[in-house]
Homo-oligomer: A and B are copies of this chain.
């Protein structure tokens, strides 16, 4: 359970969820975005590793529990409205956050947008992460 002062900082949506932006604490890479409910957030704080809520499986999900690609919690911030979390982590294991095997889930550029395809494409073994 969250403490009262923690709950007072946060606004979960009508489904009881809050989006969590996961960022590598030292490089600033945005690794992934997932969702937490109150139980996932409480476990993240207690265990010091990220635990999310899977909307598709409707259950808690300890990131990296099977792959070893856990995320050590470094710092947890909340935005001005209280409805988004920024989770600063140290990405462990193979250093891979995305279930495709890419370092970050954001490896694709939107077609027609400015910039270059600088983000690495996922490697050949997409099942190793997750």
Query: Residues of A with Cβ closer than 8 Å to B?
Result: 3, 5-6, 9-10, 19, 21, 23, 27-30, 32-33, 45, 48, 73-81, 84-86, 88, 98-100, 102, 105-116, 118-119
How far does the alpha carbon of A78 sit from the alpha carbon of B76 in the complex, in Å? 23
Complex contacts, A73 vs chain B, CB 8 Å: 113-114
Copies in the complex: 2
> B21 to A75, Cβ gap below 8 A?
no
> A88 to B108, Cβ gap below 8 A?
no
Majority SS of interface residues in chain A? Answer: loop
> B100 to A45, Cβ gap below 8 A?
no
- A/B interface sample: 26 pairs, CB < 8 A: A5-B111, A9-B111, A21-B21, A21-B30, A23-B28, A23-B30, A28-B29, A30-B86, A45-B113, A48-B114, A75-B113, A75-B115, A75-B116, A75-B118, A76-B109, A76-B110, A76-B115, A77-B106, A77-B110, A77-B119, A78-B106, A78-B108, A78-B110, A80-B105, A84-B106, A88-B115
Q: How far is the CB of A130 from chain B (nearest CB, A)?
A: 11
Complex contacts, A3 vs chain B, CB 8 Å: 111-112
How far does the alpha carbon of A73 sit from the alpha carbon of B109 in the complex, in Å? 13
